[in-house]
Amino acid sequence: MVVCGEVLLFAIGVRSALLGALALLAPGFALCGLLPAPIRAIPVARWAAAPVLGFAAVTGLVITVSWIGIDLGGVSVRLVLVALTLLGVATWPREPWPRPGVRDGLELLALVAIVAGGVALALIVVGDRPVPGNDWAKYLLYADEIRRQGALLIDNPFWMLGQPFREDPAVGAAYGSVLLLSRVSAGALAQGILVFSVLQTLAVFAYVRGNWPARRATALLAAALIAVVPASQDILGWHGLANLAALGLLGLLLAYLAELTTERPDLRSSFGLAIVLVGLLATHRLTAVIAALVFAGAVAIALVTGRRFALGAAAQGVGLAALLGIGVLADVYARQKTFGGTLGSADYDSTRVNLDLAVRDLSWVLTLLTGFGLAGLAVTRRLQRALWPAVVLLVVACALAYAYIVGLPLYYSRMVFYLPLAMAPIAAVALWQLIRLPIAAGIVGVACVAAIAVEAVPQARTVEKFYAFASPVTLRGLDALDAQLKPNEVVVTDRCWSFLSTWLLHTRTLPALEPQDIQPKAELPYARQARAVLDGTPEGRRLQRKYGIRYAVVDPTCPDAKGAVYPPPAGGTPEFASERLAIVRLPSAR
């Protein structure tokens, strides 16, 4: 209905970013037949999981359409939406869907209230514009260029003097599609991360609701815990958009793995599993690796505990993913070829986990509730099979946080963002399994959520302030600089203003990123060149002459990898200065 409505409104000239976003997720409701059977059987769980599945399916098909050479435009994207909707309806089971009752309506209202509470917390961080963080700018620039160039495998004309867009393609496909459908300015998507924050909450609810149907409150508690945990606000602060989008898909994967390791899934579920696996690869490669480890761990446990059918079901899901994801695999491979390799684990030493900060992000309440709950389930032998995927995710995330011991390179501290996805279901299930009186369990659950929310509110404000690089004041400074720049002039920036300067100035930039900020090794030489220019070294002066660099854009409070504030650009003259932005005229390089 939403897809048809969008097409009809387009025909009469009505367009909006909100309508485009809804149309992008709507095919998931047509694809409900591909959800795990336990979720399909429960109306509210089905409604919660549908938009997550829709995001994976739509972005995967858009990536494939672009890969085979079809130009992305309003017409081609709408054809993708219509095709998926029709195919989805064809997969519906012959028997009618279970009809919702009054209790389902009340449950839906409770879920909406939880989502609204999570959004209210999120708005403390991203409620004002410009939003905090630096990374949002690269997603807007990519989406804008997708609309302009009509493809996904394209070059970035501004970043590091001109580089391929190496971002994982799914978020770009989603944002670019919304721009193509609505024709609004890219800036309208700056707060789009809120949608993915909601999808993570819905995925956790669907996972728990489908596997513990006897107690509706269990799923509502899990959703509330993931919605209010401070880590969910932290990721909004630095704008980890692709990471957050992948967390929603990973939550839905837990539901598929719960079915796969408990009972033999049907073919429809295998197709849904394949779509989620492809979606994870397209959305965030690190999360895809974590998902692969969780997948393997859950299947291994199923085999050890006598569920031999799990191996065949897993092979079927992976085989279908390879078939459906040919275009996504080709796209990701093409991007990976331009990486020039990856950095070593020593480059990520400064990202090692600080336990005090990690527990603060998770909250003491959720940490203790999960620890005691998991121990209680193990001792009382009530650790059900459906919870094993969450336990495996907990183990995998903790292990990868300390992967520097074996020299595996990754951003170690970001493993904290994966823990709530495992901890919220474990804590909720344990609470309702171990406290036999429903009223007592409900009181404890509500008290825990309230205690976490009390911690989350001040932390959300702290996060917003810490990442508030862009503001009306700093934007005025950049506007003044933009008026003085020559066409295609190169500007050097520090790590805090890297993506922001590229997007806001729309000119070539040379950002002085730290190694930990960089995934593609191919970008490391350019980051070192930028640091040389800012430090005023002989090599930096040579590069300044070569590229004609006149200005540096820096944050006076910007910390390096060890937390120390960078010195100001050597010998420069400030032309604009504020708390978070300094525009420095560099000395002539002779």
- Per the DSSP assignment, residues forming a β-bridge with 559 are 565
8 A C-beta contact, residue 249 and residue 56: yes
CA distances from 524 to 25, 255, 546, 552 (A): 37, 39, 19, 19
8 A C-beta contact, residue 453 and residue 229: no
Check whether 12 has a pLDDT greater than 60.
no
Average pLDDT value for residue range 254-264:
93
Q: Model confidence over 208-245: pLDDT tens digits?
A: 999 998 788 999 999 999 999 999 999 999 999 999 99
| SS3 state of residue 68 | coil
Cα–Cα nearest to 522, from 195, 159, 170, 185: 159
Q: Model confidence over 481-521: pLDDT tens digits?
A: 999 999 999 999 999 999 999 999 999 999 999 988 888 89
Strands 551-554 and 491-494 come out as: parallel
Q: Which of 68-82, 202-216, 417-431, 557-571 has the lowest mean pLDDT?
A: 557-571
Give the list of residues 6+ apart from residue 111 with CB closer than 8 angstroms, or none. 44, 48, 202, 205, 220, 223
pLDDT band at 17 (very low <50, low <70, confident <90, very high): confident
- In the prediction, which pLDDT does 270 show? 95
pLDDT band at 350 (very low <50, low <70, confident <90, very high): confident
Q: Judge residue 219's burial from the number of C-beta atoms within 10 Å of its C-beta, 0-12 exposed, 13-18 middle, 19 or more buried.
A: buried
Percent of the chain with pLDDT over 90: 76
Give the list of residues 6+ apart from residue 140 with CB closer than 8 angstroms, or none. 175, 186, 187, 189, 190, 503
- In the prediction, which pLDDT does 345 show? 87
Q: Which of 75-84, 435-444, 489-498 has the lowest mean pLDDT?
A: 435-444
- In the prediction, which pLDDT does 73 show? 93
Which residue's entry shows tokens 């085999």?
Answer: 303
What average pLDDT does the chain have?
Answer: 92
- In the prediction, which pLDDT does 305 show? 87
- In the prediction, which pLDDT does 9 show? 57
pLDDT band at 160 (very low <50, low <70, confident <90, very high): very high
Dihedral angle of Cα 442, 199, 462, 579, to the nearest 10 degrees: -170
Cα–Cα nearest to 60, from 84, 36, 30: 84
Q: Which of 89-93, 205-209, 279-283 has the lowest mean pLDDT?
A: 89-93
8 A C-beta contact, residue 501 and residue 483: no
Average pLDDT value for residue range 97-106:
83
Check whether 10 has a pLDDT greater than 70.
no
pTM for this model (two decimals):
0.95
- In the prediction, which pLDDT does 3 show? 59
Question: CA 216, 222, 224: angle at the middle one, nearest 5?
Answer: 100
Give helix 355-362 / helix 438-466 axis angle, nearest 10°. 120
CA distances from 208 to 211, 221, 430, 490 (A): 5, 10, 12, 51
8 A C-beta contact, residue 354 and residue 231: no
- Per the DSSP assignment, residues forming a β-bridge with 491 are 509
Check whether 13 has a pLDDT greater than 70.
no
Sign of the four-CA dihedral 75, 80, 85, 91: positive
Sign of the four-CA dihedral 60, 64, 65, 67: positive
8 A C-beta contact, residue 260 and residue 40: no
Check whether 589 has a pLDDT greater than 80.
no
pLDDT band at 258 (very low <50, low <70, confident <90, very high): very high
Higher pLDDT, 17 or 134: 134
Check whether 7 has a pLDDT greater than 70.
no
| Type of residue found at 182 | S
- In the prediction, which pLDDT does 125 show? 95
Cα–Cα nearest to 85, from 56, 58, 45: 58
- In the prediction, which pLDDT does 215 show? 80
Average pLDDT value for residue range 37-50:
94
Average pLDDT value for residue range 108-116:
96
8 A C-beta contact, residue 258 and residue 389: yes
Average pLDDT value for residue range 381-393:
93
| SS3 state of residue 2 | helix
Q: Is 581 left (phi over 0), alpha (psi -120 to 50) or beta?
A: beta
| Type of residue found at 86 | L
Q: What is the distance between the alpha carbons of residues 502 and 509, in angstroms, rounded to a whole number?
A: 6
Measured between its terminal Cα atoms, the distance across the chain in Å is: 66
Q: What is the distance between the alpha carbons of residues 259 and 36, in angstroms, rounded to a whole number?
A: 7
Question: What one-character DSSP code corresponds to residue 508?
Answer: -
Average pLDDT value for residue range 538-555:
94
